[in-house]
Amino acid sequence: MTSPQWLDSWSAADGAARVRTLFTDAFGADAAPDGVWSAPGRVNLIGEHTDYNAGLALPVALPHRTFVALRSRADDVVRLASAQAPGQTWETTLADVGPGVTTGWGAYVAGVAWALREAGHAVTGFDAVVDSCVPFGAGLSSSAALECAVAVALDAVHDLGLAADDAGRAELSAACVRAENEIAGAPTGGMDQAASLRCSAGHALLLDCRPGLSALDSGHRVPFDLVPAGLTLLVVDTRAEHALVDGQYAARRAACERAAALLGVENLRAIDPADLDDALARLADAEDGATLQARVRHVVTEIDRTARFAELVQAGRLTDVGPLMDASHDSLRDDYEVSARELDLVVDTARAHGALGARMTGGGFGGSAIALLRADAVAPVVAAIQAAFEDAGLTAPGFLLSPPSQPAG
């Protein structure tokens, strides 16, 4: 059996050095950025496909980050380069950025500047380079890490002051969501950007996605320090790449919106778990009623699971959250139908080898799974997952550990 591949994070100094070098390579030997900023990917402990249903989610920031070196310009030209696209430069003007007209990876970057302008902030063009150790296509929010690193960079070079407090970071998060939804064309909710900008080391962020809430009410930091409890959160990148712009994610979101309309509620958060059976019965005769019932059942029960998970964590009962993780995965697999063969294999193997709980994480259709393990179980569980993938003839997965880490800055 081949050795497992561990996906290591970079130190702040290493990441900064990488993008400073890339900046001079891209824009000339005498070119220097105004500074370097970075933002983390995220892993969601529980609360999947709930954010766009005004529900609850519980992410933590990864130690893996996207680094951006940026220099402001006096005009509205945007020039971008990335270590992930060597030898290429992406260029546009802010005047040319808009919904449906901006394409390529630069849409996630220029879209943030567009959204800040739309919110009334005076933002000019810029030159920027990007490098990242957030695994791409792994369901760990590489796109949000990119957007949020750019957001805090633009905030700094234009003295917007938004990154100075949580309310301002919530505004930056909203700009990043607009960039992803309206410019990049990915109909995601706001959990990824909120996690990248508003999480803190040693904590998970209990995110309440109901519209209109203040920053104080929309996000609560929950202590999530696994080391004293002798636990570890293992993340497994299945290498089954997922994409949020291929229509499946949008179809799930549309089904939830249609179900809410049929039930006469603003969103699925409005359905109390005690009233779920009645709500499902009312959908039985709708077109695609069985599908709508399954989607609603997942969302309502997942919001309830997330609330109970947070309560257990706040009570210090970390070893008791496993069954909620297991139930979450089963619901995502059976009711929401967003799991994949590789995700199920990770989850089943981890459970069989002593995981307290395991589930897919992120939007699904590939990507990553997580397992909550006792620290001494990491090596045998990793070996078992590696062997299971080899036996199934699948591409070897990647592994990383996820201590809750710092937000964008």
Given 51, 127, 131, 192, the catalytic residue: 192
Rounded to 10 deg, the angle between the 106-118 and 142-157 helix axes is 50
Q: How many Å apart are CA 254 and CA 252, to the nearest integer?
A: 5
Residue 107 φ then ψ, to 5°: -60, -35
Instruction: Specify the DSSP element, H or E, that contains 92.
Output: strand 90-93
> Is residue 127 annotated as part of the catalytic site, yes or no?
no
Q: Cβ neighbours of residue 297 under 8 Å, at least 6 residues apart?
A: 276, 280, 331, 335
**Tokens representing 262?**
């049929």
β partners of residue 149: none
DSSP 8: P
Sheet-wide strand order for 59-72: 35-44, 59-72, 126-132, 77-82, 90-93
Please give the radius of gyration of the chain, using alpha carbons only, rounded to the nearest integer.
21
Q: Could you give the residue numbers annotated as active site?
A: 192
